Structure 1
Amino acid sequence: MDIMGYNERRWKKASVTIKSVGPKLIPFLKTSCIYFVLWLPTSNPSWFSALIKCLPVLCLAFFVLAHGVGLRMFPSYSKKILVGLLFSALGDVFLTWGDQGFFIHGMAMFGISHILYSWAFGLRPLRLWLALLLMALGAAFYTAVYSYLQGPMVYALAGYILVLGMMSWRAMARAACSRYRRSWGRGCTTAGAVVFIVSDFVLAVDRFCFPLAHARAFIMSTYYTAQMLITLSIIEQSDQDNFWKRN
């Protein structure tokens, strides 16, 4: 098989797909810009500020729905990503009132979201070495912040690190395939997982350990980027499902 020709055709198709999808991401990009332009203070949470915060993720959920309607099919993969996005939006709502005692509720919603993403990514290939590596990194981080935790957060953060690590493991493992099975969609999930880890790492340090300069801007920009990358993976997965359905 002509490997170079195969790779060239594959990435050319990916480029065309991305260009066709770009305009459909405009609502997400606009609402993300609105969030940063308004920059509503977190010290005075309201339903309006909660809506502004979760609108970009809701736009991604609408993107998934619209893509399924356009294909006249709604694969299981897309359904799981969609529900994961909705739980993430609910988590954003809870985190809007995080300083009023709802931070742990937001963590729970995001934990469910990560479980749904992991379910969508599947268990093949397994890549146990990657799971062990992420587990070790998660344990090291938890050990570093443990002394700053109090009450239920001692257990909540441990659980959250576990499900975030599981999601990241499945996202990265599916990209670590043979040369012929690698794809831009799998690359999106890997990049999304890595950015999610970085975003949550900064959030945890800023909230539990010590304040970081410009933390909120960094956390939200990386968070929205991670959700967008994970969402984009539905396009390639839907194309594959549609191919097998036709054949």
Structure 2
Amino acid sequence: MRRENITRKKRLDRFSLKRKIKSIGPKLIPFLKTFCIYFVLWLPPSNPSWFSAFIKCLPVLCLGFFVLAHGISLGVLRPYSQKILPGLLFSALGDVFLTWGDQGFFVHGMLMFGISHVLYTCAFGLRPLKLWIALFLLLLGAIFYMGVYTYLEGPMVYALAGYVLVLGVMSWRAIARACCSSYDWSWGRGCTATGAVVFIISDLILAVDKFCFALPHARAVIMSTYYIAQMLISLSVVDHSERDSLWKRH
């Protein structure tokens, strides 16, 4: 009986996914357009301006509009979306600071993204716990930090350590939500887990390129993976239900 229920649920999930794709596709058009505009304009980072900052953060702002529009279509902005939305806004603010990163605002940008990851973590909740995922990510984070440590100096020594920690915690919660039984699994949880992994890849390349040595096509890879990660996390609001919230569990 349980196997039949799982099979039925998978069929319903596939049907629901197709229906959701048709529903959310038009709402993602602003993001997809601004994503393309960023790469078409490809404004040089060596000459930062408010226009270049606006173009850089515009795709993430469009994702914020997507989350808000989805809430309006439901008639209510659920607690999960209420955390994802400000997380996107803090990310956009981080993009603004990083536009002038070489002028001394890189740490400010890291702080904004750190707050964003904390908000995402609160949205994802603490169940299921899956401590083995946390330990694995902690080990990877420690190995990465030790590899970059010798290139750091000043406040960046502590700032990067803190950022690696909050990114790791956010990724732990995102991946843990997806590592559940096949009956409880949903495509939204898969989106958050995939988004977290892509976020790690994007930030890892950014750190190596900025602090260690230049990587070929680094900016294109960093920005494309970053936008994709934010899109995947944003898409999870469509699939989220109240039972996913930690605060409603017990």
TM-score normalised to structure 2 length: 0.94
2:150 alignment partner, SS class: helix
Alignment of 1:115-194 (within 5 A): 115-194=118-197
1:21 aligns with 2:12: no
- Alignment CA distance shift 1:239-1:8 (3 Å): farther
Counterpart Cα distance in 2 of 1:17 and 1:52: 28
Q: Which one-letter code corresponds to 2:190 in the other structure?
A: G
What does residue 233 of structure 1 align with? 236
Q: Which runs of 4+ in 1 moved over 4 A?
A: 238-241
1:80 aligns with 2:61: no
1:61 aligns with 2:61: no
Q: Which runs of 5+ in 2 are unaligned?
A: 245-250
Q: How many residues align?
A: 241
Counterpart Cα distance in 1 of 2:184 and 2:195: 19
1:31 aligns with 2:34: yes
Across the aligned residues of Structure 1 and Structure 2, the Cα RMSD in angstroms comes to: 1.1
Q: Which one-letter code corresponds to 1:45 in the other structure?
A: P
1:213 aligns with 2:216: yes
TM-score normalised to structure 1 length: 0.96
Is the CA contact (8 Å cut-off) linking 1:126 and 1:173 kept in structure 2?
yes
- TM-superposed CA distance for 1:240, in Å, is 6.7
Is the CA contact (8 Å cut-off) linking 1:146 and 1:154 kept in structure 2?
yes
Choose the corresponding residue for 1:200, options 203, 219, 227.
203
- TM-superposed CA distance for 1:56, in Å, is 0.2
Deviations 1:192-217 (A, max 9, x none): 00000000000000000000000000
* Identity of matched residues, %: 72
What does residue 102 of structure 1 align with? 105
- TM-superposed CA distance for 1:19, in Å, is 2.1
Q: Which one-letter code corresponds to 1:10 in the other structure?
A: D
- TM-superposed CA distance for 1:106, in Å, is 0.2
2:71 alignment partner, SS class: helix
What does residue 248 of structure 2 align with? none
Counterpart Cα distance in 1 of 2:64 and 2:35: 14
1:8 aligns with 2:22: no
2:154 alignment partner, SS class: coil
Counterpart Cα distance in 2 of 1:71 and 1:105: 35
What does residue 244 of structure 1 align with? none
- TM-superposed CA distance for 1:126, in Å, is 0.3
1:48 aligns with 2:47: no
- TM-superposed CA distance for 1:5, in Å, is 2.5
Counterpart Cα distance in 2 of 1:217 and 1:65: 28
- TM-superposed CA distance for 1:15, in Å, is 1.9
Counterpart Cα distance in 1 of 2:21 and 2:199: 22
